[in-house]
Amino acid sequence: MDMMDLKEIFDKKNVFAVVGVSRNTEKWGFKVFKMLKDNGYTVYPINPHIDEIEGERCFPSLSALPIRPDVVSIVVPPHVTEEVVKECKLLGVKNVWMQPGSESETAIKFCKVNGINVIYGMCMIMERQKL
C-alpha cells in the first residue's frame, strides 16, 4: 500500500469502525479508536461486551451500525478477524485495516478474493502520523 492509497483511507469524509475497541487505555483497540476520534473522524466503536466508550454508544457488531463504514479497523485475535471480514463482505465494506496481531492469512486471502482492499502489517496510528 503506498502513501497515496493511505491518504485516501485517511480522508476525513470516510466513516470508520473499530472492531475490538476496549475501555483499557493501554490496549490498541482503545488507542486506535481514540486517535481517530481525536483527529476528527466519524468513528463507531464495536465490541459486544461494552455499552459505551468515551461517551460514544458502542455497537455489538458491524451489522448493528446505522450506516456502512468506509473503513473497518480490526483489533481482535486472528480467529475473530476471519469472522469479521465475512461480515464486511456481506455489508459491502470496501476497506479493511488489520492491526498488527489481528491478521491471519485466511482473512487476508478472503479479502483479496472478495475485492476488499486490505491493509495489514502496518499500524494505523503510526501511518496516520506520517501523513
Confidence of residue 130 (pLDDT cuts 50, 70, 90): confident
**50-90 confidence digits (pLDDT tens):** 999 989 999 999 999 999 999 999 999 999 999 999 999 99
- The span from the CA of 83 to the CA of 131, in Å, is 31
Taking the C-alpha atoms of residue 18 and residue 33, their distance in angstroms, rounded to an integer, is 6
Mean per-residue pLDDT of the chain: 95
Q: Count other C-beta atoms under 10 Å from residue 34's C-beta.
A: 17
Contact 36, 90 (CB under 8 A): no
List, in order of start, the domains of the chain with CATH numbers. Answer: 3-130 (3.40.50.720)
User: What mean pLDDT is predicted for residues 91-103?
Assistant: 97
* Torsions phi, psi for 55 (to 5 deg): 80, 5
Question: Average pLDDT, stretch 32-56?
Answer: 96
CA quadruple 24, 29, 33, 36: dihedral, nearest 10:
130
Q: What is the pTM of this model?
A: 0.95
* 62, 93 Cβ separation under 8 angstroms: yes
